[in-house]
Amino acid sequence: MTGDRKRLSKILRRSAIITAIATSAPFMLSAWINIAPYLSKIISYTASASAKLSMATASVSGGIFKPSVISNASAADEITYPSDTIFLSDGSVIDIELAPEEKELPYNFSETAEPAPQSDENPLPYPTDINSNDGIIKRLTYSRYDTSSGLILDLLAGGQVRNCTSVSLETLAAESTVRPDFLDEKTSEPLVLIMHTHTTESYEPFARDYYDSSFSSRTTDNTKNIVAVGDKITAELEAAGIGVIHDITVHDYPQYNGAYERSRVTVEEILKKYPSIKIVLDIHRDALITSDGMWLAPVAEINGKNAAQIMIISGCDDGTMNMPNYMKNFNFACTLQSQIENDFPGLTRPILFDYRSYNQNLTTGSLLIEIGGHGNSLDEALYTGELVGKSLASLLKNTVY
């Protein structure tokens, strides 16, 4: 009897499996047809990310590495780098995940539209109190990074560099003291271009300790997004008599993917019209979130007022990015970092020196600057724009007639 029951059970299981396969076959065929065009890309991406993740983990003892895909990702742009570690003034540390915007579109299969950013026609659904929130915003200050990891370089003139490349710290230390050539030129023509690849990036409307995740942290209202921060930088340069152009072309809406390709066209056209431009600053805001969903707002107290901390990103060429002069950008990054840190101690996070392109092969003064994060208030970011503008103006005051 026991044997008969086992045989009957086996027959019934097989029958159920066959029935399930038969009934789901049309759906499976349809699904296969739909995903087939993307299958090779998924396999390629997975293999590439897995291989690079293994290599990175092996190269740094005890380091935590996670795959990151650049917004205008190509095969060469898929990189790995250490998770960010925030060193707090009280001696504690916080490890954060990659920014949500880097996770948002991991594959660049198509030019797909994103949800509409907030605007006057699509108002902000902010909660009125902490009991109706989706998560916590924590204000903190990035303090000096520990150099014992072998990944951090102290700049002699002030500030630090976080090295996520195979370039030695000794090489970077020597390059960090090189003065950019264009700082010794004299011109009355436009010298600086301020622009935004992710033009709709925005901030919290005011400083608070909670957030509403239904707000996309993006808006087409240029008085509330990263354009307003660019306006502050521009105003300080203009006040100092430095020729500057602030381009506010929207590159990330209604399509997010391909924003860097579109911003490249914009910059190329402006450089063709104004060949005197030596500095191109792509101004962004960061997005910092912990594994438990807490948003982080990096701040520094400057003259008794909270300012959003900044991070300069200087790209390094791994041999595939067509950036032969990337080290000249790094020279400028270090010069600017030290100027800002001396003018306003604590305002900067370490420069991120990493295998990233971000159109930084268009000039030898091309940098990406993250102004705070999506947890910072608009006022904090605007104040930082003013401070960055003052420091840049001080650096460039001897370059104009």
Report the 3 state secondary structure along 273-327.
Answer: HCCCCCEEEEEEEECCECCCCCEEEEEEEECCEEEECEEEEEECCCCCCCCCCHH
Is 212 found in the same domain as 114?
yes
My answer on whether 210 and 333 are in the same domain is: yes
Write the DSSP symbol of residue 353.
Answer: E
pLDDT at residue 6 in the model:
42
Residue 126 sits in the same domain as residue 223: yes
Please check whether residues 287 and 160 belong to one and the same domain.
yes
Residue 85 sits in the same domain as residue 52? no
The answer to the question of residue 94 being in a domain is: yes
Task: Looking at the structure, tell me whether residues 272 and 392 fall in a common domain.
Answer: yes
CATH number at residue 337: 3.40.630.40
Residue 232 sits at φ, ψ, to 5 deg, of: -65, -45
- Report the C-alpha gap between 252 and 138 in whole angstroms: 27
* Residue 319 covered by a domain: yes
Give the bridge partners for 93, in sequence order.
87
What is the count of structural domains for the chain? 2
Residue 67 is assigned to a structural domain of this protein: no
- What is the pLDDT, as a whole number, of residue 119? 53
Same-domain check for residues 40 and 181: no
Q: Is residue 294 part of a domain?
A: yes
Tell whether pTM > 0.85: no
Judge if 215 and 307 occupy the same domain.
Answer: yes
Collect the ranges in the chain with pLDDT lower than 70.
Answer: 1-132
Q: Is residue 65 part of a domain?
A: no
Domain that holds residue 353: 75-396
Per-residue pLDDT, 359: 96
69 within some domain: no
Q: Cα separations (Å) of 256 from 22, 166, 182, 199?
A: 41, 31, 33, 10
Residue 68 within a domain: no
Q: How many CB atoms lie within 10 A of CB 166?
A: 9
Coil, strand, or helix at residue 384? helix
Task: Mark whether 37 and 106 lie in a shared domain.
Answer: no
> Is the separation of the CB atoms in 368 and 282 below 8 Å?
yes
89 plus 15 within the same structural domain: no
Please list, residue by residue across 62-91, b when 16 or more beta carbons sit within 10 angstroms of its beta carbon and e when fewer do.
ebebbbbbbbbbeebbbbbbbebbbbeeee
The verdict on residue 256 lying in a domain is yes
**131-188 tens-digit pLDDT:** 557 889 999 999 889 898 899 999 999 999 999 999 999 999 999 999 999 999 899 9
Is residue 321 located within the same domain as residue 357?
Answer: yes
Q: Please tell me whether residues 47 and 157 are part of one structural domain.
A: no
